[in-house]
A and B are shown apart, each in its own frame.
Chain A
Amino acid sequence: MESLAAENRKSPIIAVRDLVTHYGQTKVLDNISLSVPRGVVQVIIGGSGCGKTTLLKHLCGLLKPSQGEILFDGKNVAAMDEDELAVMQRGIGIAFQSSGLFNSMTVGDNVALPLHEYTRMDERLIQAVVRIKLGLVGLSGSQNLMPSELSGGMRKRAGLARAIALDPPLVYFDEPSAGLDPIIASGLDELILDLNKLLGITFVIVTHELDSIRKIADRIMMLDRGKAIFCGTMDEAGTSEVERVRQFFERRPDEYMAQRTI
């Protein structure tokens, strides 16, 4: 029994094998393989249009690949039917780039939605948990506001509060710091680290904020035009032989930009 639990702890929570996917005729992801152990903060980086968000949507079960496997806890997400997918998605939290909040409900109702749907907590307890989650992301007291009354950064944080409502073991976060000021962004980094250490939540984060990456990333995968060009730790990234990786971390523009003579 114990060794089984230990086995589970050692097996990766997400394992992607040879993932290929197309939009129409265009191949957008080309043979991606990735293994995410439990309890790490995995960061996926890359230039615009390299397929990061597409990869994330495949991992969440929102898109189906043309080829390959995506194993969540050993079960292939790509082969799941609707019911199995629903069960899997209860065990993950997704925080979208534009928050994905429902405009017709208040912030409090948005965060309470997973609690209402998937738990048997009474209403007062649900409200108390909503207060905890909103307090965590720095939005105390905003339960009765509508999403359209919040700024972009506040909406993003409300989206994260909803993603962690059920304390999922795995949270996907698409561009957490985009559009946030440095103070809030660093607060969000601290929050991610706290949740990771305290609750053991595994994070898969798509981002390109270098400061965040240096602070929170345990492992990094870099995509370039649909291919995985680097997989490893922060230190390995700094000394990588792959030019594009070094260019990313040293924040150097492309050659055609550097050659302007203005």
Chain B
Amino acid sequence: MSTHRLECPDTLNQETGGELLRAVHKLHLSGGDELLFDLSGTESMDSPGGGRVLEIADVVRARGAALRIEGQQGSVAGFLDIIQPALRAPGPARPRRSGFLNTFTDKSYLYGREFREFAELCVDALYWTLLAPFEGRGFRWNLFIDEIHEMGVRAVRIVCLMNFLLGLIIAMLSSAQVANFGLSIYVADLIMIGFARELAAIMTAVVVSARTGAAIAAELATMKVQEEIDALRGMGLNVAQFLVAPRLAALLVVLPCLVALGLISGLLGGTAWGVTMLGFYPQVWWAETLNAAHLRDFIQGFLKTFVFAVMIALIGCHNGLRVEGGSRGVGLMTTRAVVMDIFMMICVDIVFAAIFYYALA
């Protein structure tokens, strides 16, 4: 048990403190020893100097020794008072990393719980959208109309543009192959069948998901962060009725309309290629296009849109309401909503394709 003495110079700052720290590292301190820190000659001290004192205290503590500070006066004494709380407190606890099995079961539980919350939201939202208004239980018509304008009317231009360009590109790509066999006119059939069954629905749904799905998620997430959801529930109002149902209803109305416009735009895109580059007469192209139109294809394409509408609205609301962590969380949940939307679309598409191919062929 020995006492070591360390004299501090008249100024304790980053540099002089650094030298003292190096001196402490070189000392042979062991358990039970004491380091006496003599500040009687010190006249001034600043925050980095105080930081150095803390570092010295850490080293001393790590070696099992004790630190005693003596001789402080004037402003230095006051400064030491300021760093007392930090000197006394131990460092922050390091988070412990859990093993694989723990992480796996934790995550499984969390996913299971999330799925259950999503299912509950689905049932609630579908009730308040499709059944409650007819039971006279209240529906926010004003928000419904506003959302139809925002989700539908304001999306028309981009939906039509995207579908037109897609029609053009597909006509361009396929005609290059088919021209070898002199079958260019069948590109019109391809465009009609492709857009009616799949492409109009998918392309439009992707655009709407990026626009509307993200907007719903971001808006609800921000409301959650700003305690607006708590305020709503505290007033006894139902979140599904107040926030989700008007948006879901609007999307159910708007998405099929947008898909119809998208379909027409896609056909126009294909026609633009067929008439200008392939040299067909417009009447001929249109006749072939309409010839390829079958009710079954339209049904397949449009039934999907209702499922897409429900999913986009619910996934957006679900993710928005689950936000945690402030502004960063809003960004994360918005991204998550759009990614889930796109993944969902592919899955639904596969299911419909399977049903129509196998069951109804």
> Residues on A close to B: CB < 8 A?
103-104, 108, 119, 121, 124-126, 128-129, 131-136, 138, 140-144, 146-148, 167, 194, 197-198
| Inter-chain contact A104/B327, CB cutoff 8 Å | yes
Our pick among A144, A167, A197 for the contact of B46 (Cβ within 8 Å) is: A167
| Inter-chain contact A131/B95, CB cutoff 8 Å | no
One digit per residue, 1 when the CB lies within 8 angstroms of any chain A CB and 0 when it does not, for chain B 81-116 equals 111111111111101000000000000000000000
List 25 A-B pairs, Cβ < 8 Å. A121-B51, A125-B48, A125-B51, A125-B52, A128-B55, A129-B50, A131-B54, A131-B91, A132-B50, A132-B82, A132-B86, A133-B47, A135-B83, A135-B85, A136-B82, A136-B86, A140-B88, A140-B89, A141-B90, A144-B95, A147-B326, A148-B324, A194-B81, A194-B82, A198-B79
Q: CA separation between A132 and B47, bound complex, in Å?
A: 8
How distant is B48 from chain A, measured CB to nearest CB, in Å? 6
Q: Inside 8 A of A140's CB, which chain B residues have their CB? A: 85-86, 88-89
Q: Does B328 lie at the interface of the complex (its beta carbon under 8 Å from any beta carbon of A)?
A: yes
| Secondary structure class of chain B's binding surface, majority of residues | helix
> By the criterion of a CB under 8 Å from any partner CB, how many residues of chain B are at the interface?
34
Q: CA separation between A104 and B324, bound complex, in Å?
A: 11
Our pick among A103, A108, A119, A121 for the contact of B325 (Cβ within 8 Å) is: A103
Q: Inside 8 A of B55's CB, which chain A residues have their CB? A: 124-125, 128
| Secondary structure class of chain A's binding surface, majority of residues | helix
Across the two chains, which residue of chain B brings its CB closest to A198? B78
How distant is B206 from chain A, measured CB to nearest CB, in Å? 28
Q: CA separation between A124 and B48, bound complex, in Å?
A: 11
How distant is A192 from chain B, measured CB to nearest CB, in Å? 13
Q: Inside 8 A of A104's CB, which chain B residues have their CB? A: 327-328
How distant is A193 from chain B, measured CB to nearest CB, in Å? 11
Q: CA separation between A15 and B83, bound complex, in Å?
A: 33
| Inter-chain contact B326/A129, CB cutoff 8 Å | no
How distant is A187 from chain B, measured CB to nearest CB, in Å? 11
Q: CA separation between A255 and B91, bound complex, in Å?
A: 55
Q: Inside 8 A of A147's CB, which chain B residues have their CB? A: 326
How distant is A109 from chain B, measured CB to nearest CB, in Å? 12
| Inter-chain contact A131/B86, CB cutoff 8 Å | yes
How distant is B142 from chain A, measured CB to nearest CB, in Å? 29
Q: CA separation between A140 and B88, bound complex, in Å?
A: 9
Our pick among B47, B88, B324 for the contact of A129 (Cβ within 8 Å) is: B47
| Inter-chain contact B95/A125, CB cutoff 8 Å | no
Which B residues from 25 to 68 make CB contacts under 8 A with A?
A: 46-48, 50-52, 54-55, 58
| Inter-chain contact A141/B92, CB cutoff 8 Å | yes
Q: Inside 8 A of A132's CB, which chain B residues have their CB? A: 47, 50-51, 54, 82-83, 86
Which B residues from 317 to 337 make CB contacts under 8 A with A?
A: 324-329
A121 and B14 in contact (CB under 8 A), knowing A129-B47, A131-B54, A141-B92? yes
| Inter-chain contact A198/B75, CB cutoff 8 Å | yes
Which among A108, A146, A148 has the highest number of chain B CB atoms within 10 Å? A148
How distant is B247 from chain A, measured CB to nearest CB, in Å? 26
| Inter-chain contact B48/A129, CB cutoff 8 Å | yes
Q: CA separation between A214 and B9, bound complex, in Å?
A: 40
Q: CA separation between A197 and B75, bound complex, in Å?
A: 9
| Inter-chain contact A138/B85, CB cutoff 8 Å | yes
One digit per residue, 1 when the CB lies within 8 angstroms of any chain A CB and 0 when it does not, for chain B 195-210 equals 0000000000000000
